[in-house]
Chain A
Amino acid sequence: MSKRLAALLRPVAESGVAVLIGLAVGALLMLAFGYDPVRAYVALFYGAFGSTDGVLESLAYATPLMVTAVTFGVGARAALFNIGAEGQAYVGAIGATIVGGVILLPAGVHPIAATIVAMCFGALWALPAAALKIWRGVHEVVSTIMLNWIAFWFVTYLIRTYLAEPGRAERAIPALPTARYAVIGATLTTVIVVSVAFCIAVTILLWRTGIGFELRLVGDNPEAAKYAGVSRSKAILMSFLVGGLGAGLAGASQILGRPPSWTLYATMGNVINLGFDGIGVALIGRNHPIGGILAAVFYGGLMHGGRYMEYNVGVASELVDAINGIIVIALAVPEIAAIIRRRRES
Chain B
Amino acid sequence: MKRDRWQSVKAVVTTWGRGALPGVMVIVAVMIARLTGALQFLELVTFDRFLRLRPAEPMDERIVIVSITEGDIQRARTYPIPDREIADLLKRLQTYQPTAIGLDIVRDIPVEPGNAELTSVFRSSKNTIGVEIALPDRSGFTVAPGPALPSEQVGFADAVLDADGYQRRSLLGAHNPQQEYRFSLAIRLAERYLAARGIELGNGIRDPEAKRFGSIELTRVQSNSGGYVGADAGGNQILLNVRSGTMPFRVLSLSQIKSGQVNPSWIRGKIVLIGMMSFSAKDQASSGAIAGINPGRIYGVEMQAHATSQIISAVLDGRSLLRVWADAWEYLWIVAWGLLGISLGRFLRSPWKILFGILVASVSSIGICYGLILLGWWVPIVPVLLVLVLNGAGLMAALFYRHEQELRLRLEERQFAIEQTFNAIHSGPLQTLVGILRTAQEQATPPPFLPELQRLNQELRAVYGSVQREAIADEPHLRMGSAIELALQAPLHELLYKVYCNTLEQELPYLKTLKFKIVQFDPLNTSHLRLEHKRALCRFLEEALCNVGKHAIEATRLTVICTQEGDRQVIRVADNGRGKPSQSETLSLAQMDRDRETTEEPNPKLQPSGLGTQLAKNLAKQLGGAFRRYPNQPKGMVCELTWSAKRRWFR
Is B a genuine binding partner of A? no
